[in-house]
Structure 1
Amino acid sequence: MPTVLITGASRGIGLELVRQYRADDWEVIATCRDPDAAPDLQGSGAEVHALDVTDDAALAALGRTLAGRTIDVLINNAGIYPLKGPQGAFGDIPVEPWMEALRTNVIAPWKVAETFIGNLEKAQRPVLATISSKMGSIADASSPGSVVYRSSKTGVNMVIKGLSLELEARGVICLALHPGWVKTDMGGPNALITTQQSATGLREVIAGASMADTGTFRSYDGAPIPW
């Protein structure tokens, strides 16, 4: 039975990924900040662990707990979108939310990779996938606003590219994935696709990836996205 580790799995895309992998008889290890406040995750059949991906001590502790186990797919899904709407306009962006976005969206995926690289190396075809966003594409940026979130996703794209170079010799396929504009708390009610559509597409991209795809930025439908 293959195993997937999914961070930020209490709701939205993360929770739907848990459900779909479980439905396909995968062993699912799921993390979130507060499992007691995540009844849907608790009832999903996944092995649930508390984890704040920005907490180095907690991350190290989970690494020790899972030491020696094989992880075939690791999905960095945990992320935040601070300063929505009119917040964060030019001239009025507070520093701390920006730093929090960088800690969560950029630095944490690298630290997660460092923590579980031994688990991934035990798999025959290990995949390290990180949920990025088309909003992180510099080539696609055509309007002002959302610079805090955008810059964090641009940053994590570089992290994934860097990880692909670091881990190529170890056979780990590293992917930056755009989940689409999804109807979640983050995406809002006007989004274009459901969590089911996004998760289904993401899983297909992950399942079909090879080392020829490592270090690439792709949409949930498989289409390449310019950096």
Structure 2
Amino acid sequence: MNTVLITGAARGIGLELVKQFLESGSQVFATYRGNTPPASLTDLLSTNRLSLRPLEVTDQNSIDALTALLEGISIDIIINNAGIIGPQDQSYHNMDVKGWLETFEINTVAPLMVTNALLPNLAMSDSPRVITISSQMGSLEREAKGMIAYRSSKAAVNKVMQVLALELKEQNITVCPVHPGWVKTDMGGDNADISVQESARGILKLARNITIADTGKFFTWEGTEHPW
């Protein structure tokens, strides 16, 4: 049985990952923003394999509080899922700079800070893995206009995870960013390609199967390597 921690677990892909990991028999720590857990998560508390924890991923005090709650608990898989699309204005000629910085703080900086804080928990696992939800919109091989804040934050987190994979390889910790697909969520919209169930199913399978031989690779939700 895997023990999994999922950030941004109150909705969308994060919530569906919680449901599917529970169905697979895993122990799940699901984090949420704010002081009160949302109904989307409390409705799942009929199983004793789900624990809910508050976490503001950009607040070091909140991260420290989480690590204190998890002290001495082995974690096999961290899924850095918390993220935002960025500000409404993020074109080259009309950029909300404050919003751009917030996008970087949440999408790029926070996954590293959360992972770093939980390294002692990962060290207790026989097969520690870190999955960070990225996007093909951050791939430098893809050319498209607009969405500069979001695209740049995902390109940056890809590099962060590539470097982290090298840093943690000697500790046998597998680190991979993953493109979740274009998913029908609040962020992806109704015209997206795949359902949240399909995306989560692929991410779960990937998270369970990757090994240290895969560390530093950029994957798609389908388990194939994505060009950087």
- The two structures have a TM-score, normalised by structure 1, of 0.96
The aligned residue for residue 120 of structure 2 is 118
- Superposed CA offset, 1:48-78 (max 9, x none): 1111100001101111110110001000000
- Superposed CA offset, 1:176-222 (max 9, x none): 00000000000000001011100000111111111111001010001
Identity rate of aligned residues, in percent? 42
Q: Does 1:136 align with 2:149?
A: no
1:102 to 104, 116, 124: 104
Write the mapping of 1:50-199 to structure 2, written as runs, cut at 5 A. Answer: 50-84=54-88, 87-140=89-142, 142-199=143-200
The aligned residue for residue 30 of structure 1 is 30
Which structure 1 segments of 5+ residues have no match? none
Contact 2:37/2:54, CA 8 A, preserved across alignment? no
Q: Does 1:48 align with 2:48?
A: no
Partners in 1 of 2:58 and 2:224 — Cα distance? 31
Partners in 2 of 1:23 and 1:92 — Cα distance? 45
- Superposed CA offset, 1:87-146 (max 9, x none): 322221021100001100111011011100010111111111100000000111x22100
Contact 1:35/1:48, CA 8 A, preserved across alignment? no
The 3-state SS of whatever aligns with 1:216 is coil
Contact 1:4/1:27, CA 8 A, preserved across alignment? yes
Aligned amino acid, residue 146 of structure 1: M
Contact 1:35/1:49, CA 8 A, preserved across alignment? no
The aligned residue for residue 208 of structure 2 is 207
The 3-state SS of whatever aligns with 1:74 is strand
Count, aligned residues: 224
Contact 1:5/1:73, CA 8 A, preserved across alignment? yes
| Cα RMSD after superposing both structures | 1.1
Contact 2:57/2:110, CA 8 A, preserved across alignment? yes
Shift of 1:35: 6.0
The 1:60–1:158 alpha-carbon spacing in structure 2 relative to 1, beyond 3 Å, is: same
Partners in 2 of 1:190 and 1:104 — Cα distance? 25
Contact 2:5/2:29, CA 8 A, preserved across alignment? yes
Partners in 1 of 2:35 and 2:83 — Cα distance? 16
Contact 1:5/1:29, CA 8 A, preserved across alignment? yes
Shift of 1:13: 0.2
Write the mapping of 1:12-31 to structure 2, written as runs, cut at 5 A. Answer: 12-31=12-31
The 1:37–1:30 alpha-carbon spacing in structure 2 relative to 1, beyond 3 Å, is: closer
Which structure 2 segments of 5+ residues have no match? none
Q: Does 1:4 align with 2:8?
A: no
Partners in 2 of 1:200 and 1:125 — Cα distance? 20
